[in-house]
Chain A
Amino acid sequence: MSEVTYLEAIREALFEEMDRDQNVFCLGEDIGAYGGAFKVTEGLMAKYGAERVIDTPISEAAIIGAAAGAAHMGMRPVCEMQFIDFISTGYDILTNYVATARYRAMLPCPMVVRGPSGGYVRGGPFHSQNPEAAFLHTPGLKMVYPATASDAKGLLKSAIRDEDCVLYFEHKYLYRRIKEELPGGDHLTPIGKARVAREGNDISIITYAATVWKALEAAEQVEKEDGVSVEVLDLRTLLPMDDEAIVGTVKKTNRVLIVHEDTRTGGIAGEITARINESAFEWLDAPILRVTAADVPLPYSPPLEDYVLPQTSDIVVALRRLAAY
């Protein structure tokens, strides 16, 4: 089998799920004839027609709201946000309507909202965002954020089959930069399960999405230069969080670094820190550290963006501080 990029893996998942289930359909801006801003949905309309691959007006609230209505009736909509930054214009209907539907009204809302996320691409403040922290606080939603092509495919297929609304963040820096041979058959990655991306004994890095790769680079470097053995836990699912895997790696290494590309204050690292504090405090040999973006809107110019976002060298600095504690 040939290697498949992260982006192609997403597309494969869409084709396979639309083949498998007539109720699956896609809707979003420019996803049909044009194939989407990043060509993720290229070829879908040619195969499934304009009825199942709907080019919509520029209306994120309508895309998400209409998906919810169709989902109530048994459809399985997959919404594309052209850039995930624009999910904020659908925030009301996602958090107030979709997320509460099952609880307040026993209305099922099996739907996916997916979109290109993240920085390191010189996209500026409105084409680089990581919106997960805004939705972490919303009971009723699930969130996944794959780091590998295999998980990109497996998590999207699982998200489409999930009975609730799943926000599926796909990192645009990874779209065409990583590839691998995918598992054959009906490949599903379970929602709610983290993955040990690298085994280690001395320090744990808990991270997800693009910074998994930076964490792996940093781990290699400190292993080689310092002889420190670093474990990297790729969360894959952000909501519900895999507490068992998090506590498991804490108990194994007793030192924890949390890395995310999103801004620092109110970011997911704070929540993970609180959970470890409540359930594994006595297993810690050092304070939990965070490497994150600075609390600024993400700037465009390369020297500025590079300065704001977490880099491999930042992770190395933090690992050395933890090792020396």
Chain B
Amino acid sequence: MARSTAAASKPTKLTPAGQSGDLSRAQRLELYYYMRLTRSLEERLVNLYRQTKVVGGLFRSLGQEADAVGSAYALDRSKGDVLSPLIRNLGSMLVQGAKPTEIIKQYMAKGDSPTRGRELNIHYGDLVRGFIGQISHLGDMVPVMAGVTLSFKMRKQDRVGLVYVGDGATSTGAFHEGINFAAVQRCPLVVIVENNGYAYSTPLSNQTAARQLVDKAIGYGVVGERADGNDVIATYEVTKRAVDRARGGGGVTLIELMTYRRKGHAEHDNQSYVPAGEIDRWAAENDPIDRYIKRLLDEDFEESELASIDARVTEEIDIATDEAEASPMPDPRDALIGIYADPPALSPLWFREGIKSAVDVHERPSSWGTHDV
């Protein structure tokens, strides 16, 4: 039995994209910039990974750039809207102001990375710029963002929150508890279910018996919408409606964005579980950046405009890479700082007193299957 999970290949139920009339010419180019930046930055990270400069795993959002960028673009940064991304939403963080140098430093576990070497990859946030870092336990950010948006409501602030989950996270208890809580409290929260067909190796058909994930909205008594996640304009528009609804007191919206994960769960994953031809078909027929370029060129944009954005992106990533590579690793003893506000740091264990670092030469046997720092 073919385990085709490519639900988005039957886009009959999807809300069609409009003409993005409320987006200016500059904004439409900006959408392209963020999508291109996402893809090129991840490609640079792949290079660094192959040079063993990335300490942990590498997570790609290849083919999903439109849903992250388009949805985040619907938030209002001037009003202080906040989002919480998932592992394939690098694009949403870039829209909120995350910098390529921060991302590269995170992956390289640098001491001046946003988490000072404590957390991996894109697991970081900044309340000032309006994004809160995820944790690995899927679904947990839904109750957290319910609380963030509950605070907006309690303080009568004109702010909206957005939380991303994948198709897999809809199976968790935290997702259920969080969206139900937010729905009851009418929190100004948009929940985006990014349906990319797979949770690690598990296809959607093994994840849920629901006909489509947007159907879950009915059970929570919230508005549900479903859109083509590989169409950045459609993604923007469906999210904008939900954001406006939330800001207007209309409560929670659940949006299912149909997309496809063209890379494995992480870079190590050989995707042996994917039916032959499926990935190639998506790459050839439904790449979100290719589609958007075609759309822009069909309108009144010039190839030279896009090429100059590509050049700008490359330059920014080059500068960011140089800066990240030159950054220091953390001081080992920083590990004891900031577990609590009070006390601000722990004392070293007695066998580490007066010792600067645990080992002079970092040892990790190759049999562990991971490369050394």
Contacts and interface: CB of A to CB of B under 8 A. Distances in A.
Interface of A: 25, 51-52, 54, 56-57, 59-75, 77, 92-93, 96-97, 100, 102-108, 139-140, 142, 162-164, 240, 278
A25 B154 contact: yes
B227 interface: no
30 contacts: A25-B154, A52-B154, A57-B177, A57-B181, A57-B184, A61-B177, A61-B178, A62-B180, A64-B143, A65-B146, A66-B150, A66-B182, A70-B150, A70-B154, A72-B132, A72-B144, A73-B127, A73-B147, A73-B151, A92-B137, A93-B137, A97-B140, A100-B135, A102-B339, A102-B341, A104-B115, A104-B123, A104-B135, A107-B125, A164-B340
A60 B177 CA distance: 8
Contacts of B221: none
A67 B145 CA distance: 10
Nearest to B189: A69
Contacts of B133: 104-105, 107
B330 to A, nearest CB: 13
Given A105-B133, A142-B340, A163-B341, A69 B143 contact: yes
B74 interface: no
A103 B148 contact: no
Interface residues of B, number: 41
Contact of B174 (A52, A75, A93, A104): A93
B181 A68 contact: no
Given A59-B180, A139-B339, A140-B339, A105 B125 contact: yes
Nearest to A93: B140
Contact of B180 (A57, A69, A70, A73): A57
A70 B147 contact: yes
B173 interface: yes
B124 interface: yes
B28 interface: no
A70 B339 contact: no
Contacts of A102: 338-341
A145 B132 CA distance: 32
A65 B143 CA distance: 5
Contacts, number: 139
Contacts of A66: 143-144, 146-147, 150, 178, 181-182
Contact of A103 (B123, B339, B350): B339
B342 interface: yes
Interface of B: 115, 118-119, 123-125, 127, 132-133, 135-137, 140, 142-152, 154, 173-174, 177-178, 180-182, 184-185, 338-343, 350
A61 B173 contact: yes
Given A65-B177, A102-B339, 15 more contacts: A57-B184, A61-B143, A61-B174, A62-B178, A65-B146, A65-B147, A69-B145, A69-B147, A72-B132, A75-B154, A97-B140, A162-B342, A163-B340, A163-B341, A164-B342
Nearest to B163: A69
Contact of A72 (B148, B181, B184, B339): B148
Contacts of A74: 151
A96 B143 contact: no
A107 B132 contact: yes
A93 B143 contact: yes
A153 B143 CA distance: 29
B118 A97 contact: no
Contacts of B343: 240
Given A68-B147, A69-B143, A97-B135, A163 B342 contact: yes
A71 B148 CA distance: 8
A239 to B, nearest CB: 10
Given A25-B154, A97-B135, A102-B339, A107 B147 contact: no
Given A64-B143, A69-B150, A97-B144, A140 B185 contact: no
Contacts of A92: 137, 140, 174
A65 B151 contact: no
A70 B151 contact: yes
Nearest to B181: A62
A278 B136 CA distance: 36
A162 B125 CA distance: 23
B341 to A, nearest CB: 3
B148 A59 contact: no
B341 A108 contact: yes
B118 A103 contact: yes
Nearest to A58: B177
Nearest to A105: B133
A139 B148 CA distance: 24
A108 B340 CA distance: 9
Contact of B148 (A64, A70, A97): A70
Nearest to B137: A96
B120 to A, nearest CB: 10
A284 B147 CA distance: 50
Closest 10 CB pairs of A and B: A65-B143, A69-B147, A66-B147, A163-B341, A62-B177, A62-B181, A69-B148, A59-B177, A73-B151, A69-B144
A308 to B, nearest CB: 31
A105 B115 contact: yes
Contacts of B177: 57, 59-62, 65
A139 B127 CA distance: 23
A106 B133 CA distance: 10
A290 to B, nearest CB: 25
B118 A62 contact: no
A156 to B, nearest CB: 18
A71 B146 CA distance: 12
A51 B154 contact: yes
A104 to B, nearest CB: 5
B184 A105 contact: no
A13 B340 CA distance: 23
